[in-house]
Structure 1
Amino acid sequence: MDREGKITAYRILKAWLWKMDSTPVVGKSIAFYLDGTLLGTDNTRSTGLAQVGYTIADGAGAGARTIYAEWAGDGGYLPSSCTNTLNVLKATPYIWVMPRSVPQGGIARLYAYFRRLADYQKQEGKTVTFRVDGTWIADVVTLSGAEAGIARYQYPTVEPPGVHTIRCEFAGDAWVEAGYGEATLTIY
C-alpha cells in the first residue's frame, strides 16, 4: 500500500498475501525493499498481513521512492510481489534565534541554531538569511563540527532605540522545508 511521510517520520510498510479466493496465506515471510534496499522481513499473520517499520531516511531528498514487497514462493504457493510508492516529504525546520540587547550603534552578535524535526539533527552547511525588521542583513552558512547548525553574524546596529525583530530564514532545499525563527533585538 502507498505511504507518505516527512523525512525522519516513522511509517509502517504493509503487504497482504492472499490466495486467489481472497483467503489469507498465513506464516509466510514477506521481504520489504525500498528503492532496491532490503528493509526487513515479516511473517504473514492470520489476516495475511506482513509489515515492517521504517524511519524515513534523507536519501535523495523529497520525492517518490519505490516500495517493493516480495513473497519468494515455496512448494505450495507461487512467488508474488507488489510495488507501491513512499511519497517522501521534506523535514520540518526548527530555527531558534537568540534575543539580543545592545546600545544604540553597538554590535549585535546575531546567533541562530538550525535543526530539523523530528530528530533534531543539526543542519550543517545550510545558508540562512538574517533580517532585522524585514531588512536583509546577511546570508550566513551554518557551521559544522562542534558548532554544527549554528549561524553567527556580528551586526553593527543602525536602528533607533526600541524593540526590533531579528528573523533568521531558510529558503528550503531537497531535504528540509523553508522556514524561519524570530527573536527580539532591543536597542537602548
Structure 2
Amino acid sequence: MKRLFALFFFALMLTGCATPKGDRMDTNVTFYNYNSYSKGYYKEKTFLLYFENNGKPYLSYQAESSASDSWFKLSVNQEQAATIISIIDKYFEWEAIAARDKDMINIEITSGLALQDWDYKFSFSVISHTPESHVLKMDQCGTQFFAQVCQYTHPIMYVGTYDAKILKQELQKFIAGKFQAVNYNKYN
C-alpha cells in the first residue's frame, strides 16, 4: 500500500511539472528583466507557445531570465486573456496620468490572480523608475498543490507601453479566434 501511494504521489508530482507541448511561435512582444546592479532593463528572449489544455486553446508567453535558470510564463485561455487586457488598459490609464503629472508611482493593479489551470499566481503593478518612465511589472509565484502561500518565485518581468500595446493586440486576436498558430519546426 505504501508503494502504491508513493508511486501515485510521484506520478502526481511529475504531472505538475510537465510543460505543455504546442506550436512555438515568434512574437513581437518583448519582456524585460531589471538588473539592480546596473540599474537597467535587459531584453529577455521572449517567445509564444500555442497549445490546448483540457480542450481549451492557450497562449503562453515565455521568457527565460538571463540572471537565473528559471522561466517566466504567462499562459492564458481566451477567457483569461480578457482579464489581462483589462489589466493592460488599467496600466495605460495610470501610466498616462503619471506621465502627465510627472509622478513617481508604485501602484498594484491586482495580486494573487490565478490565471492558469496550474499552480501559479500573478501580481501586476505599475511602477516608475523616472517621472517619465512607467512600466507594467508582472510577478509570478508558484504555489504547489494549490497552496495559498508563495513557495517559489519566478523572474519578475516588465513591459513598457510599446510592448503592452502589442501584447493587447495579440490577445485581442486570440479572443476573436483570429490567432493562427504557425509551427516553425521544419522536422514535423
The reply to whether TM is greater than 0.5 is no
> Could you say which structure has the larger radius of gyration?
1
TM-score by length of 1: 0.25
Higher helix share: 2
Higher strand share: 1
